[in-house]
A = this chain, B = another copy of it.
Amino acid sequence: MSNLNVVGKPIPKLDAAQKALGRAQYIQDIKLPEMLYGKILYSKFAHAKIININTSKAEKLSGVYAVLTGKDVPKKMKMGFYKDNPPIKKDKVCSFRDEVAAVAALSPEIAEKALSLIEIEYKELKGIFDPEKAMEKESPLVHEYHKSNVLKLPWKLHYGDVEKAEKESDFIVKEKFKTTWVTHCCLGTSGAVALFDSNDNLTIHTNTQIPSLAQKDFLEALRSMGLENKRVRVIKPTIGGGFGSKLDTYAYEHIAILLAHKTRKPVKIIFDRKEEFKATSTRQPAIIYIKQGCNKDGKLTFRDIKMVLDNGAYTSWGATTPSVMMMPITSLYRVENVRYKAKCVYTNNTYSQAMRGYGNPQATFAIESNLDMLAQKAGIDRIEIRRINQNQPGDITPQGFKISSCGLSKCIDKVEKELKKDCKKQENVGTGIASLIHVGGGARIYKSDGCGVILKMDDYGKVDIFTGGTDMGQGLDNITAQIVAEELGLFVEDINVVHSDTDICPWDVGAHASRSTFVAGNAALGAAQKIKEKILKFASKILDASIKDLILRDRTIFVKDNSEKNIPPKSIAIDKLLRKAHFSPNGTMLMADYFYDPDNENMGKDFKGNMSVTYAFGVHGVKLTVDKETGKVEILDYIAAHDVGRAINPLLLEGQVYGGVVMGLGYALTEEVMHKNGENMNADFRDYKLFTAKDAIKIKAPVIETNDKYGPFGAKGIGEPGCVPTAPAIANAIYDAVGVRIKDLPITPEKVLAALKEKSLQE
């Protein structure tokens, strides 16, 4: 392992130049012959009955090819985890983002004009926008057929005996925390181009992180349209950001499909920025009631959490974030007695989706804020309480997670050392830390957590690898290429990674759960190992040497120098060897396929099961100052230490951490999708306070390598962790600086000021 030539090197992104030159093809760039442009009309109300729709004027507009309303949507075409969301609504709208009509026309302008000609008569209904209120009996129902606004979802666990542990605890802190909507702010807005061939097979170019699962969704859509036994090809163009926003299929994709089928032409739907803010799905907001206890020694005795999640009007993956929130709740630090219960509640707000961390930032905000309060109450140092309870290699957590490697202890040491470098206490300056656990070896949330890979080599020593893994900007192409190059003794420029086309690439469950480096990496490694075996076997014949004496390096197969036997070192260039293998009797070319499905477990009914083969850990530490006059927080120092197993590419790894932390800082301090009675009030970058380049701070990102035995070259996934513990680290540091505890995000200057004022009134 010490002798790696490609893995571990900070190789810039393979597609960087193409992107810089403007040659990467984004969905916006795709233009097909005869293509039409689709546009969607959204509801004018948060909650209303549709009395009548008149599309006749729109249909008569020159250049309009099709107008769709809810009655054109097949009954069985429903989207999302709960199948409660038709792509166009028919009798009733339940949120401002509800689709009520769609148009395909020769140009986006004509389509837009056509939308303005559609006349809709609504009867407004009383809306419900607070999930806790929505649980009350007298509240209006978002969906009458559902009888209750509370979803029938099984988010409930209890391990050990929380009530007994609570009674036996020396210290207990009970608190309420709150998080709100934030959104992914992908620089590339959403879009799709759908077209049918003459046999009603569908090709759809779409911004997705889940080509294989999207294919499944679209096959279902076709079946709902009466198109049985058809083929769906999903092609993902270059995408400008994913962050979980593309983990589910959207109404615009289904509408593009319906329009393409009706018009028999390719139909393109592209979101503008306003639509991107209003009609894509946010991070799941949560109201969190938490109680934690410890004994005199600081050992955690129990953790008891209840949550209410604002589900919005429809159900996508946001409603399933509790399944991931369970991870920090049951497994961040050693805690034997755990209880958790979450309710997802329909409201007339926007609905949520996956977003980097998938519930973990929400849960960790509550846990780590509350832990600081508990430490204070118990009179134990904040860092010390974390050391006392830290996870260890070999642990099996209450949920059944098997901790293989664990660098949490080293991360705590590292962050502590950095934070204490300058230990003079200054006024209004504080430090805070928070830890994280996250899946780092896949996450079995679907029936398969697998990734397929096909690899072929040509006569020139070049590799084409078709991977199920999806590069959405995170750099999976590099990871794949570096792993294959390392294994085969090649250079990254010898490896061509083909991805994101379901016709070409084998199945993969998608780019989520920080799983790609680990799962797609292991799949690539498996295929490369199969090829390597063939190379070695053939080389051993050609070089008249034992396989164990052969080394692949620098595009060459070398025989280890064996001076004892007095054999001069021999070698053959790999391209020459490949040509020998090809151009000989019964010649062959080297190809291999590999399907890697990690050895993790679906959670059982009690939510027990080793969801991931290995887990990533990290600790964030922050030093900041609070301006007591303005409430403004200024970050002075930020350290984000992560146990990543091994850095396949330190450059990209740091990029992931920096990006994650900056996203976490936005979550902590500035970002919020503001809703007023269900209506998005800040659907632009002026009013949505994204953390931008000018706000970005210098982040130290020390890498702790624990060389996980299951990871490809020891690596774990690290896509999400960067944004997980940022908010609590900051909340803890603010408390340390000025003595106020902010319990709902974002921690705006207004909230800090208000808390300072309240504090001074109490004093």
Residues of A whose CB lies within 8 Å of any CB of B are 17-18, 20-23, 29, 33, 197-199, 215-216, 219, 229, 231, 447-448, 450, 452, 454, 456, 458-460, 462, 464, 466, 493, 496, 498, 502-504, 506-507, 582-583, 586-589, 591-593, 595, 597, 599
B17 in contact with A450 (CB, 8 Å):
no
Q: How far is the CA of A23 from the CA of B504 in the complex (A)?
A: 21
Lowest 10 A-B CB distances belong to which pairs?
A17-B198, A591-B593, A447-B583, A588-B595, A587-B597, A589-B595, A464-B503, A452-B589, A448-B587, A507-B589
Residues of B with C-beta under 8 A to A229: 493
- 18 further contact pairs, Cβ within 8 A, besides A18-B198, A506-B591, A586-B599: A21-B198, A23-B33, A23-B198, A29-B33, A215-B458, A229-B493, A447-B582, A448-B583, A448-B587, A452-B589, A454-B591, A456-B506, A456-B593, A466-B504, A498-B503, A498-B504, A588-B597, A592-B593
Residues of B with C-beta under 8 A to A23: 33, 197-198
Residues of B with C-beta under 8 A to A591: 452, 454, 506, 593, 595
Return A457 CB to nearest CB of chain B, in Å: 10
B582 in contact with A231 (CB, 8 Å):
no
Residues of B with C-beta under 8 A to A502: 458
Given A219-B460, A504-B464, A587-B597, is A493 in contact with B17 using a C-beta cutoff of 8 Å? no
Residues of B with C-beta under 8 A to A17: 197-199
Residues of B with C-beta under 8 A to A219: 460
Q: How far is the CA of A447 from the CA of B504 in the complex (A)?
A: 29
Q: How far is the CA of A454 from the CA of B506 in the complex (A)?
A: 11
Return A427 CB to nearest CB of chain B, in Å: 52
Select A459's contact among B22, B216, B231, B588, beta carbons within 8 Å: B216
B456 in contact with A454 (CB, 8 Å):
yes
Q: How far is the CA of A507 from the CA of B587 in the complex (A)?
A: 12
Q: How far is the CA of A498 from the CA of B504 in the complex (A)?
A: 8
Return A18 CB to nearest CB of chain B, in Å: 6
Q: How far is the CA of A735 from the CA of B29 in the complex (A)?
A: 65
B595 in contact with A231 (CB, 8 Å):
no
Q: How far is the CA of A447 from the CA of B583 in the complex (A)?
A: 6
Residues of B with C-beta under 8 A to A454: 454, 456, 591, 593
B460 in contact with A197 (CB, 8 Å):
no
Q: How far is the CA of A246 from the CA of B308 in the complex (A)?
A: 67
Return A458 CB to nearest CB of chain B, in Å: 7
A507 in contact with B593 (CB, 8 Å):
no
Residues of B with C-beta under 8 A to A448: 582-583, 587
Name 17 interchain pairs, CB-CB below 8 A, sorted by A.
Answer: A17-B198, A18-B197, A23-B33, A23-B197, A23-B198, A231-B493, A450-B588, A454-B456, A459-B507, A464-B503, A464-B504, A498-B503, A498-B504, A506-B591, A586-B597, A588-B595, A593-B593
